[in-house]
Amino acid sequence: MRLLVTGAKGLLGTDLVPVLQNSGYEVIAFGSSELNITDEDSIKYALTHHKPDVVVNCAAYTAVDKAEEEHKEAQRINDHGAGLLAAATKQIGARLVHFSTDFVFDGTSNTPYTEEDKTNPIGVYGKTKLDGELKIIASGARAVIIRTSWLYGHTGKCFVRSIIDGATKKDELRVVSDQVGSPTYSVDLSVAAAALIENGYSGIVNFSNEGIASWYDFATLIVKLARDNGVSVKCKSVTPIKSIEYPLAAKRPCYSVLDKTLYRKLTGRPVPHWMDALKRYIQLEFDQ
């Protein structure tokens, strides 16, 4: 089976491509400069030229705070671009794998969100991602939309790398403790995406690592594991703070745990716990 990956040089795309290759797929990987998902002609050319069986869309506008000012640009990529890709995928009879976010929810729940739960994004990024989901569904393309959360990986900026960087420079880190969710390792998400490609399901499916953490819990374990793995950590304490003490342009849901029952039922696969995933990630990052 031939797969065409868009946004292949981002955080997820970089880790996903080798996982798909190791799963036995032929993978054609395009970064943003090689395939722009907002350019209808270049999408059509790439899809008709390479004739993939599955298009895997990792391309997105992901700057959550900047999106509050750059609404049009976020909409152009996350909504319009996703729609163009879905239409072109349908036209060649291929399937689409698309990624979405826990930020489609408002965070007022206190039990894990299922795929059926009511969406209500509270920021521009989440709203544009939800619009993209709706456009894909309306296109009639055979598509699986994988909602995930709190993603970190081996490329680019992410929370884990920022915390480790901070911990090597500062005595104290102050981290928000009143937002909870599930940190997700890009390699585990990639394995889940490969399993869902194999399964062939169409619709929305949640995948994040198992368990619940606040950003403070997450940061505390990151610092501990970094120290355990030989990183020269200067930080002596991680202090819990309220979101109000760390103002950001975009509002975030204060609870965004995703229910993975459907994923387990479809694939029969276990969902690794976030602490186990973080241990594997840090061991790989600092493997000497």
Under the rule (CB under 6 A), what is the footprint of ligand NAP?
Answer: 6-7, 9-13, 32, 35-38, 58-62, 77, 81, 99, 101, 129, 148-151, 156
The CB-of-155 to ligand NAP minimum distance in angstroms stands at 7
The CB-of-271 to ligand NAP minimum distance in angstroms stands at 16
Whether the Cβ atoms of residue 33 and residue 7 lie closer than 8 Å to each other: no
- Comparison of 119 and 149: residue with beta carbon closer to ligand NAP: 149
CA 278 to chain CA centroid, Å, is 15
Exposure of 156 by Cβ count < 10 A (0-12 exposed, 13-18 middle, 19+ buried)?
middle
Instruction: Name the residue whose CB lies closest to ligand NAP.
Output: 10
- Comparison of 37 and 176: residue with beta carbon closer to ligand NAP: 37
- Comparison of 99 and 113: residue with beta carbon closer to ligand NAP: 99
Element (H, E) at 285: helix 274-285
The CB-of-169 to ligand NAP minimum distance in angstroms stands at 23
Encode 131-155: b = buried (16+ Cβ within 10 Å), e = exposed. bbbebbeebebbbbbbbbbbbbbbe
The CB-of-118 to ligand NAP minimum distance in angstroms stands at 19
The CB-of-13 to ligand NAP minimum distance in angstroms stands at 6
Q: Which of 125, 201, 216, 255 is catalytic?
A: 125
- Distance in angstroms (rounded) separating the CA atoms of residues 64 and 250: 7
Whether the Cβ atoms of residue 187 and residue 279 lie closer than 8 Å to each other: no
Phi and psi at residue 81, to the nearest 5°? -60, -45
Residue 263 annotated to the active site: no
CA 214 to chain CA centroid, Å, is 17
Which stretches within 159-214 are classed as H helix? Answer: 159-169, 186-199
- Comparison of 31 and 240: residue with beta carbon closer to ligand NAP: 31
- Comparison of 80 and 177: residue with beta carbon closer to ligand NAP: 80
Active site residues: 125
